[in-house]
Structure 1
Amino acid sequence: MIGTLNALVDLVERNLSESIDVAAFARKHGTTEYHLRRMFSALARMPLSEYARRRRMTLAGADLAAGDPNLLDVAVRYGYGSVEAFGRAFRSVHGTGPAEVRRHGGPLSTQPMLRFRLSVEGSTPMDVTITHKPEFVLAGHAAQVPLIHEGVNPHIQRHIAGIAPGEHARLKALGDTDPAGILAVTAEVEPDAPEGSMLTYLHGVAVNAATALPDDLDTIRLEAGAWAVFSSRGPFPEALQQLWAATATEWFPSNPWRLRPGPSMLRYLELTDTYASCELWLPVEKS
């Protein structure tokens, strides 16, 4: 996977003026576009599309600072059909317009070319179980919330606080399959979604596909498949977020599994304001 990601970076570099066919690239390298984008985003801390845009604007900024006289030529060179569209993209990266950079040489925000390396220093111990489940349903109370990579998500906190205390007992009584107990479910996340993108958060339980459910609950039906179950213990929420990153840096590159589309499920075994023991369930398939 590390070699594949570096080949993807090279492909981006050779095609900065046009979009690339990530799906075809993934097939050629024996993986899927979904898994590739998720791994890139987790390791680079930015979506592939954002990285490509920043590289384009880095080189465009260098051209303008060097005195390239024609804004339209520079815009077309990096895949933009108009000076206006190029200017918006340029300003979003550099915080200043292309004309100002051409006159004054900066300031410029540079995105270096990425190079991925596999390192075992400071590795995170992981207990992992692969489990195969038949079709099942997640049922509970869902909300649209923005994606936040680090720290506690206050939008999720407010959603949970708005659920009546007695509702938790009702949900627990409905749950009749693994993972047991109340679950924190993150769904409908694009594989390379940037921070701030909207996702579906569901506070609920897992039930068998044939179980009758009340009409007032939101549901997510999941097809049969394999799940990788990672155990985590430590400071909350840092240990969990470090575990998610470690799956990308350490577990997936060295195991014959890849992510498949589907939600991630978090089952808390113990939770305080500062400590959590939990299971992270990720949908996977054989590479």
Structure 2
Amino acid sequence: MEWLERMNRAIDYIEANLTGEIELSGVARTACCSTYQFQRMFSFITDVTLAEYIRRRRLTLAALELRHGGVAKVIDVALKYGYESPVSFARAFHAMHGITPAMARQDGIALKAYPRLSFLITIKGAEAMNYRIETKESFEVFGIEGIFRTDGGGESPQTPAKLWEQSHANGDVKQLEARAGDLPSFVSQLLLPVQAVCSYRKTGPDTFPYMLCAFKDEGSDTDGYTTVTIPAHTWAIFPSEPHPWDQFGETIENLYRRFYTEWLPTTGYEQVDGVEFEMYGTKDGLNYIELWFAVRKV
């Protein structure tokens, strides 16, 4: 399938550049998606971040080179696999292998190896995955926008989760709720006034936008907020079962994981520029989530 081919081409790109600089934007281009979108897909599918996978592969190859490479100096191997000094290389090497780089040359020494990944479709359990496909005309949202780096760095707040935490603590979420107006008729009336939208515009090769948002209508007060027009899209919408608050993290992560690992590779759809909504609501006195992914048929 085309989706699997793209992901495997991205792995080919990574493997070909393990001894050089790996630009995340280059990896993402190979997979025909944004940097943020690729890193999210990768981590949900593999249970490891892209940066950690690259680190493991480099240290795997470095150990093999030290063990079988004859007279290769530790400093040369360190530089070859992207470490600026023998100290930083030795620290990373010990964290993974449990020994120093020099000890890797000894006969009988135990080393760890992480093989290259390949993406395949696997047969899983027969648990149903509820979703619906809906086409929506263009609409507007407004709210509190943050621009985040894909590596989590930069100025505070550094992640969307921290933006939520900060905005709840200082009353910004309550204020946005008061400015929101009514929910539009094309969304579930189970939803709360404030939602979140991600990757709705281009911000740079290694950044993405994330907004705590409300739908704009005639009764909305948007003064002081960022307003964004969401173009007409076809949306794949994945609702959760009602759940208590202490199961929120597990529930939303499971929805994302199943979208990337079960639905997207097998349905003939692809995600459009990574655009997605996290819709929050209440149902039967419990929490409720809908994930909206902009998609198109391929």
Tell whether the structures are fold-level matches, with TM greater than 0.5: yes
List per-residue Cα deviations over 1:157-176 (Å, max 9, x = no partner).
Answer: 44224326863552341554
Asked if the contact 2:75–2:85 (Cα under 8 Å) also holds between the matched residues in 1, the reply is no
Structure 1 unaligned residues grouped into runs of 5+: 191-196
The CA deviation at 1:270 is 1.4
The DSSP-based 3-state class of the residue aligned with 1:115 is coil
Q: Match for residue 160 of structure 1?
A: 168
Percent of matched pairs sharing the same residue:
24
Asked if the contact 2:90–2:101 (Cα under 8 Å) also holds between the matched residues in 1, the reply is no
The DSSP-based 3-state class of the residue aligned with 2:260 is helix
List per-residue Cα deviations over 1:199-254 (Å, max 9, x = no partner).
Answer: 7553331226x997532223333333222111111543112210110001111011
2-side partners of 1:214 and 1:69: how far apart?
63
Q: Match for residue 60 of structure 1?
A: 62
1-side partners of 2:78 and 2:121: how far apart?
36
Query: What's the Cα RMSD here?
Result: 4.2
Structure 2 unaligned residues grouped into runs of 5+: 147-155
1:114 aligns to 2:117 (yes or no): yes
Q: Match for residue 153 of structure 2?
A: none
1:253 aligns to 2:265 (yes or no): yes
Alignment of 1:1-287 (within 5 A): 1-18=3-20, 19=22, 21-22=26-27, 25-26=30-31, 31-32=32-33, 38-66=40-68, 68-75=71-78, 77-78=80-81, 80=82, 84=84, 88=88, 91-92=91-92, 94-95=94-95, 100-103=100-103, 110-122=113-125, 124-142=127-145, 145-147=157-159, 153=161, 156-163=164-171, 167=175, 169-173=177-181, 175-176=183-184, 178-179=186-187, 181-188=192-199, 201-207=210-216, 213-235=221-243, 236-237=247-248, 238-270=250-282, 275-287=286-298
1:77–1:234 Cα change, 3 Å: same
List per-residue Cα deviations over 1:106-150 (Å, max 9, x = no partner).
Answer: 8866433323343343355322222233333221234564448xx
**Aligned partner letter, 1:221:** T
The CA deviation at 1:85 is 5.4
The DSSP-based 3-state class of the residue aligned with 1:95 is helix
2-side partners of 1:199 and 1:91: how far apart?
32
1:125–1:147 Cα change, 3 Å: farther
Asked if the contact 1:232–1:278 (Cα under 8 Å) also holds between the matched residues in 2, the reply is yes
2-side partners of 1:68 and 1:98: how far apart?
22
2-side partners of 1:155 and 1:5: how far apart?
30
1:3–1:188 Cα change, 3 Å: closer
TM-score, normalised via structure 1 length? 0.71
2-side partners of 1:12 and 1:114: how far apart?
10
Tell which deviates more after alignment, 131-140 or 13-22: 13-22
**Aligned partner letter, 2:64:** A
Asked if the contact 2:142–2:222 (Cα under 8 Å) also holds between the matched residues in 1, the reply is no
1:215–1:261 Cα change, 3 Å: same
The DSSP-based 3-state class of the residue aligned with 1:266 is strand
1-side partners of 2:121 and 2:56: how far apart?
24
**Count of aligned pairs between the two proteins:** 268
Q: Match for residue 194 of structure 1?
A: none
Asked if the contact 1:131–1:229 (Cα under 8 Å) also holds between the matched residues in 2, the reply is yes
